[in-house]
Amino acid sequence: MKIYHNYRCRKSRQTLALIQENGITPEIIEYLNSPISTLELASLLEMLNIKPIQLVRKAEQIWKENFKGKDLSDDEIVNAMVEYPKLIERPIVVEKGKAIIGRPPENVLTLFD
């Protein structure tokens, strides 16, 4: 199991704790320190089965100042998230080719066998 984690985010910390409470030691990817590639983000979107705009944190100042109200293609949105990883909704948990967004943290339970 992998978690794309932001240690400063309460929901991300709660999701990580829930995973660990269930006896799993996930691979922790601190995506703000080790940015996600375009290919990796495209793969996550495919596993999540959502459009790029659905993964954007629209309340972030970066989004409001640079992208809000613009008619952006999916590729442009992906590129924005790669350039500004704070825009990526978190946490994302991946297990066996499936992914979920840990909001609420209990969503992660659907990935357990």
| Per-residue pLDDT tens digits for 65-87 | 999 999 999 999 999 999 999 99
Percent of the chain with pLDDT over 70: 99
Tokens of 36: 């996600």
Q: Are 34 and 7 in contact (CB under 8 A)?
A: no
Residue 35 pLDDT grade (very low, low, confident, very high; cuts 50, 70, 90): confident
pTM for the model stands at 0.94
Tell whether the model's pLDDT for residue 112 goes beyond 90: no
- State the pLDDT at residue 53: 98
Cα 41 to Cα 5, 27, 45, 52: the distances in Å are: 14, 17, 6, 9
Q: Which domains does the chain have, with CATH numbers?
A: 2-111 (3.40.30.10)
Query: What is the C-alpha to C-alpha distance for residues 65 and 44, in angstroms, rounded to an integer?
Result: 26
Mean pLDDT of 81-106: 97
Query: Which residue is associated with the tokens 């993964």?
Result: 55
Instruction: Name the percent of the chain in helix, strand, coil, to the closest 5.
Output: 45, 15, 40
On average, the pLDDT of the chain sits at 96
- State the pLDDT at residue 56: 98
Q: Are 6 and 51 in contact (CB under 8 A)?
A: no
Give the active site residues: 9
